[in-house]
Structure 1
Amino acid sequence: LKRLGRRQRHRTQTFAQTVAKRLVEWAPPQAVLVFERLQVPPPQQEQIRGRALRCRLTLWQRGLIRRWVEQRAQERGLQVVEVNPAYTSQTCSLCGQRGNRRRHAFTCPQCGSQEHADINAARNIRDRCTQLRLSGLPSTSPEARADKAAGKPPA
């Protein structure tokens, strides 16, 4: 059992190192890698049915990939930032209003925007990072929305 546990840990460690290396190599120079500050509680017996699923979730190293990415990014001179994940997948990236997410589709009832939910969430995460770094106008301000609608990058 010790040997199997060690093998599983090494496999997880190798996976995290490989993903971190590929991500940092893929990122252009002077890029900023943005992560959501996720708080995933350990699985409870009452919440998740099935012993096998609880065991798999317990083995998942939540911060391992993040730690390796930070280490690799520091070696290459890249910056790593955390943002608040609240409502990133439910907020419209164009108008900033709460929309409807159905599995992989996001629809905004206010502006009529429709796109893949993960792409919408990624844009919201990017905008939160930009706002955090520049301490400028919120990405949902009228000026920022006008620039987005015109396809211009934020000033």
Structure 2
Amino acid sequence: MDANLTLLVNGKQHTLRLDPATPLLYVLRNDLALNGPKFGCGLQQCGACMVLLDDVAWPSCQLPVHQVTGGVAITTLEGLAAPDGTLHPVQAAFVQEQAAQCGFCLNGMVMSAVSLLRQYPKPDEAAIRNGLFRVLCRCSVQARAIKAVQRAAGV
């Protein structure tokens, strides 16, 4: 049964008529045309669908949309850059370190890194590896991703 649900996505409120059990990822991509989060495994295991929920990285592919209503701040990759287009420091560091190859894991890597740095502004390499562990990368850019997070953290 559909219901009117209000979501706070990238700083803007959206009221949509949805089935409350619809996965957040589907709403972001299909209803709001936000394509940063990707559908990967559909099992919350690859990280391609990562978003920030109140600054905590969380996979969105199985998360029912009704669980993120009521003021939860949802941030997607598109919501990181400044309104003038200036990249978020993590995004800029990933560009500078060329920390993307195929790009499929990029959303999860960036969103996980942003969450990590908000919790631990100066992480060591072990903390960075732990912060990115939920993101599956098949083309082996992990070393460059670690360097990008270090660059963004200034360590």
TM-score (structure 2 length as normaliser): 0.31
Q: Using CA pairs below 8 Å that are at least 6 residues apart, which structure has the higher relative contact order?
A: 2
Bigger Rg over Cα: 1
